[in-house]
Structure 1
Amino acid sequence: MSDSALATERLTALYGIPLDRVTMDETIARIITLRDEFNATTSHPHLLATVNVDFVANSLSFMPGKVRHPELLDVLCRADIVTADGMPLIWLSRLCGDRLPERVTGADMVPRLAAESGRHNLRLFFLGGAGNVASQAADTLRQMHPDIQIAGIESPHVKTVGEDMLLSEKEDTQLVQRINAAKPDVLLVAFGNPKQEVWFNRNRYRLHIPVTIGVGGTFEFIAGTILRAPHWMQKAGLEWIWRITQDPWRLWKRYAIGMIKLATLTGSLVLFNLGGMLIARNDRLADNEDEFLLPPRITERTLAQLFPAIFRLQALGKVPLLNFKHTRSASLPALGALIRFLHQQADNGHLPESCNMGALFRLFLLGTHCLVPLRSALRGGATKRQRAGTPSRRFAYAIEEKNGVTILTLSGRLDGTFKSSFPTQKVSSALADKRVTIDASNLSFADSSGISLLLMLHNLMTQQGRTLHIGGAHGAVRQMLTITRLDKVFALHPSIDEAVKAAGGTYAGADVPSQPHPASKE
């Protein structure tokens, strides 16, 4: 993220998800700008997500601080543009005093992009949709806009749950090669939420496309296979009622759960946002060399001082320390900007450290559903005198022998960044024909790419007539195994001690483990 981008982005945070305060016209302009500035060699592919109630329901659980789909929430926090595709989000933003200007939906955006395609030389690729609906949608748009530039159309079957996830590696590789060869400017992905966001995430490091947009059921609307609600119902926020009437047996339960969950989460968000305005007002940042003492209330004015200062430190090769000692609350626009900034900084290998996040601020973040998104992008717990010992967020591994059992210790984030540097063949050879246990107690996160690695090792052990035991998986990692329906496939144990015993060995927890090997640059 550049200084200029920070100056122009206007965000808010609803349910811990950074949302852009943009109109449809501004969104289209930003897509074209991202295309114009894209360099396939040095740039990362940009993601645009259109968030509605279904996204919130799929991302979060009913309990504050608990995440239902860790990978989906992580993707939304790292996305380059996130728009509000549901009137409940617009209404909530008004209630919280950070008004989102209008709905920006995928169903409206795709026809707009088709209209701009010829004028701006914008090449579109249609990916997804049931049957041949993508081709039907492309034909409809071609009739409406004869100068539209269509780079390609594909409707693959994508796997994001179960043991079939391992098969997706080869299929994804071939599909991405075809997409890259077509050289589109915008990739329209219509697998539905969360499948389309998960597919993008596990392929983000090999896509050479300027902009990818998750568009859900948009192709069906354009092709006419599903009728969209009348305009007055869309404006009144009643489109969900129309959708239920179109497919009641499939949709009523999904919308009912979504609305109940939204009501539950909204109460604490509104209450804590109001309380945060009252308990603290000072928003002036204090800095001392490479340490930033954040004020009692973090606002957009605070970040206008903080972000440029962080960039200056990074240019000098220093790691900034964010000290939350005095912080009690933050405005929702500041939280949205801070969450996105920190996640994108971590993606680029610039990982700020943090310390002294007090109980009152943690409670505020919990109530506004921003605790997990914010803390997952920071290295926490450090003081200025102890910074060298702060645990890394980056993935690392170690292999050691303990009383007849080989223990593969994984730590940090097991995500797509490890793929290019993780010695898969070397590790597989080291584990061959052995009783293997994975120590996941220091693993903070695992996305679909990481889960695929565990599946590969599981299959390796199965082929040798052995069982792969995993000990200590917790938090986001344990939840990812549940959401991908693999918690019944793996032999999971509460601790590494129990996993080693199940594998037929004993484990002395006091022993010093071998030195971990970094699998990606810090």
Structure 2
Amino acid sequence: MNKTLLKEVPTVPIFGIHVSKWGMDDTIQYLTEVITSRTPHQVITANPIMIMTALKSATYMSVMKHAEFIVPDGTGVVWAARVGGEPVQERVAGYDLLHELMRTGENYRWRVYLLGSTAEVIKETASRLQQQYLGVEIVGYHDGFFGPEEDEVVVEQIRATTPDILFVARSADTQEPWIAKHKAQLAVPVMMGVGGSFDIISGKTKRAPMIFQKLRLEWLYRLLSEPTRYRRMLALPQFVVKVLRDRGNVTKSS
């Protein structure tokens, strides 16, 4: 691995978690260099729920702090950086980043592996992405319903396809830790958790309408669509309160 080829990423520490200040264009340029240099990177699309989880769990905090590249996915993260006096350029939504990487990958013939969701969803996602981005090769896919005893087999299946990008869509509490645990063995240049993106791409669910996106209320649309998410969403007001209460320490390194 030749990390000297890569430029330094300007970051802002949100409660000790270093989030990139770059917007989408710089992010894509950087990850293109990452793939060219074959330097394994865990890419985390950070939102307030993940940050609150990290603040309550030392294990999850370690995963976040050891990730090579974290982008400001959630609107709340963008807001917190601004409150802390170190604003980021813009929100870099994980769903949009996935598609921008696929679009860019057509110019380089990148190889992509998909992991996660149900067997039906992952198959349909692979088919739709391959049809949409003909210049990218979907080299393999596997559903996300496997236990720790199958990890090694899945990892070897991924390694055998030598992908440039690995998109992982598993549950919020296992997705990033799983990548972190196996990233050295996987040795894929870009390993990125994409949450419910496969459900949207496959047509199983719909993304928030543009009006919700423009008003930065995608979280509200998800809550209205899936009321069972309310327990997880409780972290959002908790995050707001913490940022306002600790505004002087939001962007202090720890």
3-state secondary structure, aligned to 2:168: strand
Determine if contact 2:42/2:183 at 8 Å carries over to the other structure. Answer: no
Give the direction of change, closer, same or farther, for the CA distance of 1:13–1:227 in structure 2 (3 Å limit). Answer: same
Residue segments in structure 1 that go unaligned for 5+ positions in a row: 61-67, 160-167, 274-330, 336-369, 371-522
Correspondence for 1:22: 22
Residue segments in structure 2 that go unaligned for 5+ positions in a row: none
Verify: 1:130 aligned to 2:118, yes or no.
yes
The one-letter code of the counterpart of 1:19 is V
The one-letter code of the counterpart of 2:62 is D
Identify the match of residue 58 of structure 1 among 43, 53, 57.
53
Deviation, structure 1 residue 3: 6.4
Give the 5 Å matches for 1:92-491.
92-159=80-147, 168=148, 170-248=149-227, 250-255=228-233, 257-272=234-249, 332=252, 335=253, 370=254
Correspondence for 2:60: 72
The one-letter code of the counterpart of 1:269 is D
Deviation, structure 1 residue 253: 2.2
The one-letter code of the counterpart of 1:86 is G
Deviations 1:316-371 (A, max 9, x none): xxxxxxxxxxxxxxx64xx3xxxxxxxxxxxxxxxxxxxxxxxxxxxxxxxxxx3x
Deviation, structure 1 residue 123: 0.7
CA distance in 2, matches of 1:48, 1:122: 17
Determine if contact 2:117/2:169 at 8 Å carries over to the other structure. Answer: yes
Deviations 1:262-286 (A, max 9, x none): 033213431346xxxxxxxxxxxxx
CA distance in 1, matches of 2:110, 2:225: 33
The one-letter code of the counterpart of 2:225 is Q
Determine if contact 1:15/1:265 at 8 Å carries over to the other structure. Answer: no
Correspondence for 1:46: 41
Farther-moved stretch of structure 1 (238-247 vs 112-121): 112-121
3-state secondary structure, aligned to 1:192: coil
CA distance in 1, matches of 2:82, 2:9: 19
Runs of 4+ deviating beyond 6 Å = none
Alpha-carbon RMSD across the aligned residues, in angstroms, is: 2.0
3-state secondary structure, aligned to 2:230: helix
CA distance in 2, matches of 1:194, 1:19: 19
Deviation, structure 1 residue 36: 0.9
Give the direction of change, closer, same or farther, for the CA distance of 1:272–1:59 in structure 2 (3 Å limit). Answer: closer
CA distance in 1, matches of 2:249, 2:193: 31
TM-score by length of 2: 0.92
The one-letter code of the counterpart of 1:251 is R
Identify the match of residue 91 of structure 1 among 79, 92, 113.
79
Count of residues in correspondence between the two structures = 253
Correspondence for 1:310: none
Deviation, structure 1 residue 4: 6.9
Deviation, structure 1 residue 2: 5.3
The one-letter code of the counterpart of 1:210 is P
Determine if contact 2:78/2:88 at 8 Å carries over to the other structure. Answer: yes
3-state secondary structure, aligned to 1:153: strand
3-state secondary structure, aligned to 1:271: coil
Deviations 1:12-53 (A, max 9, x none): 011221100111121122111111112xxxx5x310000112
For CA contacts below 8 A with separation 6 or more, give which structure has more relative contact order: 2
Determine if contact 2:140/2:161 at 8 Å carries over to the other structure. Answer: yes
Verify: 1:31 aligned to 2:8, yes or no.
no
Larger Rg: 1
CA distance in 1, matches of 2:146, 2:60: 16
Determine if contact 2:78/2:91 at 8 Å carries over to the other structure. Answer: yes
CA distance in 2, matches of 1:137, 1:25: 25
TM-score by length of 1: 0.46
CA distance in 1, matches of 2:166, 2:5: 25
3-state secondary structure, aligned to 2:139: strand
Give the direction of change, closer, same or farther, for the CA distance of 1:93–1:176 in structure 2 (3 Å limit). Answer: same
3-state secondary structure, aligned to 2:185: coil
Deviations 1:495-521 (A, max 9, x none): xxxxxxxxxxxxxxxxxxxxxxxxxxx
Deviations 1:233-268 (A, max 9, x none): 1122111110011111x112221x212320332134
Residue identity over aligned pairs, in percent, reads 26
Give the direction of change, closer, same or farther, for the CA distance of 1:119–1:4 in structure 2 (3 Å limit). Answer: closer
3-state secondary structure, aligned to 1:204: helix
CA distance in 2, matches of 1:109, 1:252: 26
Determine if contact 1:123/1:186 at 8 Å carries over to the other structure. Answer: yes
The one-letter code of the counterpart of 1:72 is Y
